[in-house]
């Protein structure tokens, strides 16, 4: 077979946004191979089997957007008005005066405004000939100043049939206009004050009333406890829907969808149907059922499958009760349910039908992945799926009902946060993506690439990381009007006052690992960063949600500056804030003000585990280290870093001068030393300080060890004490003094 010309591959790769090289955290330059580029192009659904395929793809990329008439979406600043929208018109030379363009702009309320422009009035800014066809680039200018929001423009260009090539009489297309603020929401209180909050992994907390896994009742208790400590927010792990099956279906960062939540967190005994039904309450009170709950409580680790099965047993009864007593009778409660479904629109129906199909094929055909289903079920909007939806309407309604319950309970907790005086409330976490076997990918197959997202090798993962979910193809996402991206951001801002965006670097460039390749063979793909940031800013303003951009890793300073310009708070971890190349720790006044600071995160050791070198020990046991030398280097570096921590604390007067200087004199982390580090961070100008519940409880093991799945108990650890015991734990009282017992000014 004839070899494909490398220069053509390189040209097409560049046009499609594949970066030819990148520097890793060790300062090593990596160059994307031709094989990687070819694989990434195939993953983007671009034919590259021959020189002819590539030549056509290059021509298509160069012709874009000239051959489109108008691009599918425009994202513009509210301060860049009146809106100017380019359209591309194929026209016979000399016939420009015969053109007539009419465009109707519709806002979100349905209000419309019509504009017309004729040939001799048109603002022609460029010409180009493609395949012997002459195109004009015409700039359409709006007459009104628009408020921020989403608009639709229906654009039609008419002229004599002899004017267009091939006898075309008219061109017509709709495009989405998104008008955004220039910055994300930042409340006045946060501009004047600093605030702190407590981060808790909801699945890990437990109480006398929980069913083997933390739930929304437990979350409310954590809110009450935290508000009593003068904190302004509670951070939780992503609550996205997951399979709830060990080992690959329990990570909150590997959801089946980022649009909807995990029913396992429902407070079952606070559901109106459970309260209303004597029969359902009788089931819960049965000795055999109560014994199952107690068995789950007694387990040392969380059993997601059994906890979800136990809850679903009651939820099925609750839905049947609702269906017979409310849905069929159009009661007020049913009206609220239907209002919820109407507001959610197509998204929730797609999600529910997917779950109904997933459950059907697992039970009848033992098919675990939707890719195994018969081909006709791969199209979410095809005749076969529509027929299934009609036949299994009640089953789909059940899954919608669960999301309605979740929505109700989360909204109630969000209101409660305000009632107890929290300025921010719930701080949610948005995962980077959804797994290939999930509903997001099934519902949006045309925009999903055949690759995995991950990270190149770094000092914490020498082999790199494959996160196990596919990326969105930027051009295809744009063709869809950024719909999935908008929905994802919007739904995750609904229930709280702050949202952390995991791996914010992915808004600028995303590390693709083509199917069958290792992370070492991956490459970066550029993203439509400004469009993404502007959409986030719009949803942030609408939902009054503070945005924290997790900007860890190898990130260009230009990217960080862009995040800051949009008032997205940087995410600064104590472990990494060093005076590089000097490993000494930065002093508090060297931290930026527009940031959230913390000691650690879910993928890193707790401060107790850090001091004990527990993470280093686990990495060695699970074979993450390349060799003995890499392990030994980490051991030596950790002892050095512990000494540097003590030096930094002393220099700031956080610990007394006679406190031991040698780490060997402090073999174990103490509560006093842990609090001292948080006080160190509290002296920084950072707007937000996040305190880890695991740190305050003295937990040794981290929640997740990147690079492992079943060789380490990730996402399964319970807190060492119950919520009831936390309330009386004097360790928490020290947090009152973080900001002198009040919300202090800068």
What pLDDT digit, counting tens, does each position of 390-433 carry? 999 999 999 999 999 999 999 999 999 999 999 999 999 999 99
pLDDT at 707: 81
Q: CA–CA separation, 407 vs 336, rounded Å? A: 12
Q: What average pLDDT does this structure show over 622-638?
A: 93
Q: CA–CA separation, 243 vs 180, rounded Å? A: 36
pLDDT at 349: 98
Task: Give the number of other CB atoms < 10 A from CB of residue 625.
Answer: 18
Q: CA–CA separation, 562 vs 557, rounded Å? A: 9
Q: CA–CA separation, 449 vs 40, rounded Å? A: 9
Q: What average pLDDT does this structure show over 360-365?
A: 96
pLDDT tens digits, one per residue of 376-400: 999 999 999 999 999 999 999 999 9
Number of H helices, E strands in the chain: 24, 22
pLDDT grade, residue 682 (50/70/90)?
very high
Alpha helices in 548-591 (DSSP H): 557-565
Exposure string for 277-286, b = 16+ CB within 10 A, e = fewer: beebeeebee
Q: What average pLDDT does this structure show over 136-146?
A: 95
Q: What average pLDDT does this structure show over 438-458?
A: 94
The contacts found for 125-132 with CB under 8 angstroms, 24 or more apart, are 125/86, 128/66, 130/63, 130/66, 130/67
Distance spanning both ends of the chain, measured CA to CA? 68
pLDDT at 168: 58
Residue 641 has pLDDT above 60, yes or no: yes
pLDDT at 465: 86
pLDDT at 164: 57
pLDDT tens digits, one per residue of 105-114: 999 999 999 9
> What's the whole-number average pLDDT of the chain?
94
Q: CA–CA separation, 533 vs 538, rounded Å? A: 9
pLDDT at 305: 98
Helix axes 614-621, 628-651, angle to 10 degrees: 170
Q: CA–CA separation, 151 vs 75, rounded Å? A: 10
- What SS3 state is found at 119? helix
Residue 87 has pLDDT above 80, yes or no: yes
DSSP string for 514-533: ETT--GGG-EEEE--HHHHH
Exposure string for 238-262, b = 16+ CB within 10 A, e = fewer: bbbbbbbebeebbbbbbbbbbbbbb
pLDDT at 556: 78
pTM for this entry: 0.96
pLDDT at 160: 47
% of the chain with per-residue pLDDT over 70: 97
pLDDT tens digits, one per residue of 539-594: 999 999 999 999 987 777 889 999 999 999 999 999 999 999 999 999 999 999 99
Enter the tokens of residue 72. Answer: 């599918």
Q: What average pLDDT does this structure show over 448-465?
A: 84
Helix (H) or strand (E) holding 690: strand 688-692
Smallest Cα–Cα separation from 241: which of 267, 263, 219, 215? 263
Burial class (CB in 10 A: 0-12, 13-18, 19+), 342: exposed
pLDDT tens digits, one per residue of 239-266: 999 999 999 999 999 999 999 999 999 9
Q: CA–CA separation, 353 vs 398, rounded Å? A: 10
pLDDT tens digits, one per residue of 191-242: 889 999 999 999 999 999 999 999 999 999 999 999 999 999 999 999 999 9
Q: CA–CA separation, 574 vs 580, rounded Å? A: 13
Task: Give the number of other CB atoms < 10 A from CB of residue 742.
Answer: 9
Q: CA–CA separation, 204 vs 198, rounded Å? A: 14
Domains of the chain by residue range: 6-63, 79-180
pLDDT grade, residue 165 (50/70/90)?
low
pLDDT grade, residue 741 (50/70/90)?
very low
Q: CA–CA separation, 434 vs 445, rounded Å? A: 12
Cα 307 off chain centre by: 25
pLDDT at 594: 97
Q: What average pLDDT does this structure show over 452-457?
A: 90
pLDDT at 94: 76
Residue 732 has pLDDT above 50, yes or no: yes
Whether omega before 149 lies within 30 degrees of 0, making that bond cis, reads: no
3-state secondary structure 314-333: HHHHHHHHHHHHHHCCCCHH
CATH architecture of 79-180: Sandwich (2.60)
Enter the tokens of residue 83. Answer: 């809106």
pLDDT at 92: 82
pLDDT grade, residue 454 (50/70/90)?
very high
pLDDT at 464: 83
Q: What average pLDDT does this structure show over 643-653?
A: 97
Q: What average pLDDT does this structure show over 27-53?
A: 94
Q: CB under 8 Å to 80, separation ≥6 — which residues?
A: none
pLDDT grade, residue 158 (50/70/90)?
confident
Helix (H) or strand (E) holding 90: strand 84-90
Enter the tokens of residue 166. Answer: 């091939």
Q: CA–CA separation, 108 vs 146, rounded Å? A: 12
């Amino acid at each position: 077979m004839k070899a494909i010309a490398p220069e053509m591959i390189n040209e097409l790769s560049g046009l499609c946004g594949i970066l030819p090289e990148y520097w890793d955290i060790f300062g090593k330059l990596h160059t994307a191979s031709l094989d990687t580029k070819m694989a990434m192009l195939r993953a983007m659904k671009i034919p590259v089997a021959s020189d002819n395929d590539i030549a056509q793809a290059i021509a298509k990329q160069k012709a874009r957007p000239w051959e489109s008439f108008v691009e599918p979406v425009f994202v513009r600043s509210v301060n860049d008005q009146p809106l100017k929208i380019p359209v591309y018109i194929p026209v016979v030379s000399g016939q420009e005066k015969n053109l007539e363009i009419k465009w109707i702009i519709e806002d979100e309320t349905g209000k419309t405004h019509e504009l017309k422009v004729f040939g001799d009035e048109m603002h022609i800014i460029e010409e180009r000939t493609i395949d012997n066809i002459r195109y004009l680039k015409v700039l359409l200018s709006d007459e009104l100043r628009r408020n921020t929001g989403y608009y639709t423009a229906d654009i039609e260009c008419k002229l004599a049939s002899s004017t267009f090539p091939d006898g075309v009489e008219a061109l017509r297309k709709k495009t989405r206009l998104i008008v955004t603020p220039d910055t994300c929401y930042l409340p006045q209180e946060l501009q004047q004050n600093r605030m702190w909050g407590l981060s808790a992994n909801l699945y890990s907390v437990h109480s006398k009333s929980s069913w083997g896994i933390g739930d929304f009742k437990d979350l409310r208790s954590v809110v009450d406890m935290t508000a009593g400590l003068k904190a302004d927010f509670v951070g939780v792990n992503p609550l996205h829907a997951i399979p709830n099956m060990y080992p690959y279906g329990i990570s909150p960062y590997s959801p089946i969808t980022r649009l909807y939540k995990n029913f396992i967190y429902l407070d079952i005994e606070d559901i109106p149907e459970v309260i209303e039904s004597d029969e359902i309450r009788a089931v819960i009170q049965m000795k055999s059922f109560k014994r199952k709950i107690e068995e789950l409580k007694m387990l040392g680790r969380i059993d997601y499958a059994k906890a979800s099965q136990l809850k679903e047993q009651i939820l099925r009864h609750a839905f049947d009760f609702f269906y017979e007593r409310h849905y069929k009778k159009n009661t007020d409660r049913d009206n609220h349910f239907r209002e919820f479904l109407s507001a959610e629109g197509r998204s929730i129906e797609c999600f529910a039908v997917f779950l109904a199909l997933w459950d059907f094929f697992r039970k009848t055909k033992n098919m675990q992945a939707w890719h195994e289903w018969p081909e006709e079920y791969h199209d979410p909007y095809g005749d076969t799926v529509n027929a299934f939806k009609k036949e299994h309407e009640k089953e789909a309604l059940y899954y919608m009902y669960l999301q309605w319950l979740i929505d109700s309970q989360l909204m109630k907790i969000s209101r409660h946060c305000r009632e107890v005086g929290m300025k921010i409330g719930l701080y949610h976490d948005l995962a980077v993506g959804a797994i290939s076997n999930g509903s997001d990918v099934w519902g949006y197959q045309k925009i999903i690439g055949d690759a995995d997202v991950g990270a190149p090798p770094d000092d914490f993962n020498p082999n790199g990381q494959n996160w196990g979910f596919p990326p969105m193809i930027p051009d295809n996402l744009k063709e869809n009007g950024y719909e999935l991206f908008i929905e994802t951001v919007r739904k995750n801002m609904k229930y709280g006052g702050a949202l952390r965006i995991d791996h914010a670097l992915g808004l600028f460039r995303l590390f693709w690992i083509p199917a069958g390749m290792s992370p070492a063979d991956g490459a970066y793909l550029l993203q439509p960063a400004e469009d993404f940031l502007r959409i986030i800013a719009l949803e942030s303003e609408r939902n009054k949600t503070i945005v924290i951009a997790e900007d860890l890793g190898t990130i260009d300073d230009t990217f960080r500056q862009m995040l800051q310009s949009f008032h997205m708070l940087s995410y600064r971890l104590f472990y990494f804030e060093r005076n590089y190349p000097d490993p000494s720790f930065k002093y508090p006044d060297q931290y930026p003000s527009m940031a959230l600071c913390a000691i650690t995160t879910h993928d890193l050791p707790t401060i107790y585990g850090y001091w004990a070198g527990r993470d280093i020990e686990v990495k060695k046991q699970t074979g993450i280290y390349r060799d003995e030398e890499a392990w030994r280097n980490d051991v030596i570096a950790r002892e050095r870093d512990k000494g540097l921590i003590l030096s930094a604390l002393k220099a700031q007067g956080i610990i007394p001068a006679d406190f031991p200087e040698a780490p060997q004199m402090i073999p174990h982390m103490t509560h006093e030393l842990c609090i001292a580090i948080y006080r160190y961070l509290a002296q920084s100008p950072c707007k937000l300080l996040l305190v880890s519940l695991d740190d305050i409880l003295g937990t040794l093991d981290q929640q997740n060890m990147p690079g492992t799945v079943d060789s380490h108990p990730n996402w399964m650890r319970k807190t060492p004490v119950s919520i009831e015991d936390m309330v009386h734990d004097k360790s928490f009282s020290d947090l009152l003094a973080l900001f002198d017992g009040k919300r202090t000014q800068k």
